[in-house]
């Protein structure tokens, strides 16, 4: 009886694999790397469309958006918004290659060809650098990522950073508000926000910048990683007999608390940038 059960299981797998809708595939890729999404089947003479269902916090799914479209007669390949210069056809008929993967590519990709539809889940991993040094007086980037909307207009951009309970920077539409001591020392990119990159760069670092930083986006969502601790260490002597003037080294310790959770939305006093 055992061999009969095994035979039925294999038979069912073969049926599922040969059907127009195959079993979902899950793939992982590192941020900024290249990945080829495998889609099986054939599509002769039809228009091929690849679409993306973006995954967001708490299991919500946004509507599908166009990744790319291929008109086969004549052969014209057109990338969708947010995927310009980042997608191309794979070596196999329906495969799709994505270069320079961004955090917001996380989610499900679909291939449509006539009645054919297949799903591939893509998980984007963010490698964290621990203990990366920076010197006092230099610039340093604090990395944070979140599942934001790819086509967010500038007027709807909303994210903010805090150090402990102190405001560092808030971005709401066209308005930027700096926390005390961070005035004109924090830079951000709204274009990066649409790619899920909420990182900020601190300039002219000083020992007073040490502490634990938190990144938030939308109204109640934490970024990934959940926190970044900035520590100042003094170094007064070199390893040789030559005296070296005191200097401080900034070290980052990433706290890998990647759970997206709800928090109380802070109250900001906005002003024009």
In angstroms, rounded to a whole number, what is the distance separating the alpha carbons of residues 32 and 99? 7
% of the chain with per-residue pLDDT over 70: 70
Q: Judging by beta carbons within 10 Å of its beta carbon (0-12, 13-18, 19+), is residue 82 exposed, middle or buried? A: buried
pTM score, two decimals? 0.69
Q: Strands 243-255, 227-237: parallel, antiparallel or unpaired by DSSP?
A: antiparallel
Instruction: Evaluate whether 215 touches 144 at the Cβ level (below 8 Å).
Output: yes
Note the pLDDT of residue 44. 76
User: Residue 188 is encoded by which pair of tokens?
Assistant: 């951000």
The CATH code of the domain at 22-125 is 2.60.40.10
The segment(s) of the chain belonging to CATH 2.60.40.10 are 22-125, 133-255
Instruction: Name the residue with tokens 């991993």.
Output: 125
> Do you find a cis peptide bond into 225, omega within 30 degrees of 0?
yes
pLDDT at 166: 92
Task: Assign domain 133-255 to its CATH superfamily.
Answer: Immunoglobulins (2.60.40.10)
Give residue 43's pLDDT: 80
Average pLDDT, the chain: 76
Identify the pLDDT of residue 23.
59
Please tell me the distance from the alpha carbon of residue 252 to that of residue 210, in angstroms, as a whole number. 9
Residues of the chain with pLDDT below 70 are: 1-24, 45, 56-61, 116, 129-134, 232-273
Cβ count within 10 A of residue 53:
15
């Amino acid at each position: 009886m055992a061999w009969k059960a095994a035979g039925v299981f294999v038979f069912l797998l073969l049926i599922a694999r040969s059907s127009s809708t195959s079993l979902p595939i899950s793939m992982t890729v590192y941020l900024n790397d290249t990945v080829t999404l495998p889609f099986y089947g054939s599509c002769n003479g039809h228009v091929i469309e690849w679409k993306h269902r973006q995954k967001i916090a708490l299991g919500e799914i946004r509507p599908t958006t166009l990744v790319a479209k291929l008109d086969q007669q004549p052969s014209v390949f057109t990338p969708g918004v947010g995927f310009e210069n980042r997608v191309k056809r794979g070596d196999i008929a329906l495969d799709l290659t994505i270069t320079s993967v961004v955090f917001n590519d996380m989610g499900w990709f679909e291939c449509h060809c006539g009645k054919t539809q297949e799903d591939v889940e893509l998980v984007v991993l963010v490698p964290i650098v621990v203990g990366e040094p920076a010197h006092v007086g230099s610039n340093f980037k604090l990395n944070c990522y979140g599942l934001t909307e790819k086509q967010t207009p500038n007027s709807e951009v909303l994210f903010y950073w805090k150090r402990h309970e102190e405001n560092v920077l808030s971005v709401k539409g066209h308005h930027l508000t700096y926390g005390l001591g961070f005035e004109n020392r924090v830079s951000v990119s709204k274009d990066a926000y649409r790619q899920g990159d909420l990182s900020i760069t601190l300039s002219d670092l000083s020992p007073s910048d040490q502490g634990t930083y938190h990144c938030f986006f939308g109204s109640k969502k934490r970024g990934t990683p959940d926190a970044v601790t900035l520590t100042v260490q003094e170094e007064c002597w070199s390893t040789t007999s030559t005296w070296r003037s005191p200097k401080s080294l900034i070290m980052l310790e990433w706290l890998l608390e990647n759970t997206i959770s709800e928090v109380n939305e802070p109250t900001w006093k906005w002003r024009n940038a």
